[in-house]
Amino acid sequence: MALKRIVSSQGNIPKAPPSMPAIPKTFSVEDWDGSKEGEKIIIYADSGLGKTTLASMAPNPVYLGLDDGGRKIRNPKTGEMLKHIPGLTSFRDVLAVLQQPELFDEFETVIIDTATILEEWAVPYVLETIPNDKGITMKNLVQYGYNKGYQHLYNTMKLIPQACDSWVRNGKHVIIICQEAANRVPNSGGDDFLRAGPRLTSNKEANIEGHFCEWADHVFRITYSSQVVKDRKATSTDERVIHVKGEVHFRAKSRTLPSDISQVTFNDKSDDSIWRFLFEKGE
């Protein structure tokens, strides 16, 4: 009986993994040179601070304009109307456009304006294309149960940076514009706190905001240069700046700008200092 018990317990031991497959190709070590690739950029701010205008001064841009804000804007350097791809009304449309490289041949920068709207469009796309475990079409994300709906939304939104990566590898810059929001940040060392960042879903089931910011080479926040709150009233100057280095209460970063630069001027709508810093290095 003792022997039988030993054999039975051994039957629960996990099987060894299968042997590794043969190496399918030959690998080598090379310099990790990204100089011929494009930049991955996120711009976020409150409405009216110049996100679309700033993006218009990036190198030779074309817009995937998901709202109609760009129709009233001209490039402040040239006075020309913005170039865009009309007819985008759904998440499916945006995915389809990103898979048509011939549309972008003459442009250097692809701009999605805004990812905040694109996430709203992603919800009906999830409901139309992903049934629940029983094959039933859901009416909202909550119906999936156990936060599965938000997991589906997260996986769906991940398709956008993945599609944009092909453009970056081919030397085109990608700018993703977002509205600003105060996102709650879990804090293992104390109380949770709020941090300004792109207005995208930010929770443990679907941290889309975190994924997009991790993907980007640069996260730029446009805001006023100084703001004071007194007697629960906020006052500020009219001068705007672009933050390129984050602090505890807001997201910002740059993988290539000098570490001693924390913000760049954007007081005038034609001020393209940030792009000259980013794209004219060494010139």
| 3-state secondary structure at position 97 | helix
Can you read off the two tokens belonging to residue 175? 């700018």
Q: For the segment 176-223, what is each residue's pLDDT rounded down to a tens digit?
A: 999 999 999 888 888 889 999 999 999 888 899 999 999 999 999 999
DSSP result, 116-177? HHHHHHHHHHHHHH---TTSPPPSSGGGG-TTHHHHHHHHHHTHHHHHHHHHHHTT-EEEEE
Q: Cα angle at 270 between 227 and 241, to 5 degrees?
A: 20
Residue 198 to residue 20: CA distance in whole angstroms: 42
What does the longest C-alpha to C-alpha distance in the chain come to? Answer: 90
pLDDT for residue 19: 67
pLDDT for residue 199: 97
Residue 1 has pLDDT above 60, yes or no: no
Q: For the segment 107-128, what is each residue's pLDDT rounded down to a tens digit?
A: 999 999 999 999 999 999 999 9
pLDDT for residue 8: 44
C-alpha closest to that of 95 among 160, 162, 157, 187: 160
pLDDT for residue 35: 83
Q: Collect contacts of 221-230 with beta carbons under 8 A, ≥24 apart.
A: 221/43, 221/44, 221/45, 221/180, 221/196, 221/250, 221/251, 221/252, 222/43, 222/44, 222/45, 222/49, 222/50, 222/51, 222/54, 222/266, 223/45, 223/46, 223/49, 223/250, 225/263, 225/267
pLDDT for residue 229: 47
Mean pLDDT of 157-165: 96
Name the one residue in this structure whose structure tokens are 């290095």.
281
Residue 71 to residue 68: CA distance in whole angstroms: 6
| 3-state secondary structure at position 62 | strand
Query: How would residue 41 be classed by pLDDT, with cut points 50, 70 and 90?
Result: very high
Q: Are 218 and 42 in contact (CB under 8 A)?
A: yes
Name the one residue in this structure whose structure tokens are 């990790």.
32
pLDDT for residue 187: 84
Angle between helices 159-169 and 208-215 (to 10 degrees): 10
Q: How many residues does the chain have?
A: 283
**Number of DSSP helices (H) and strands (E) in the chain, helices first:** 8, 11
Could you tell me the CA-to-CA distances from 57 to 53, 64, 78, 126, 144 in Å, in that order?
7, 15, 9, 34, 43
Query: What is the distance between the terminal CA atoms of the chain, rounded to a whole angstrom?
Result: 83
Domain annotation for the chain: domains and CATH numbers: 36-279 (3.40.50)
pLDDT for residue 204: 82
Query: How would residue 17 be classed by pLDDT, with cut points 50, 70 and 90?
Result: low
Global pTM? 0.86
Can you read off the two tokens belonging to residue 246? 């984050």
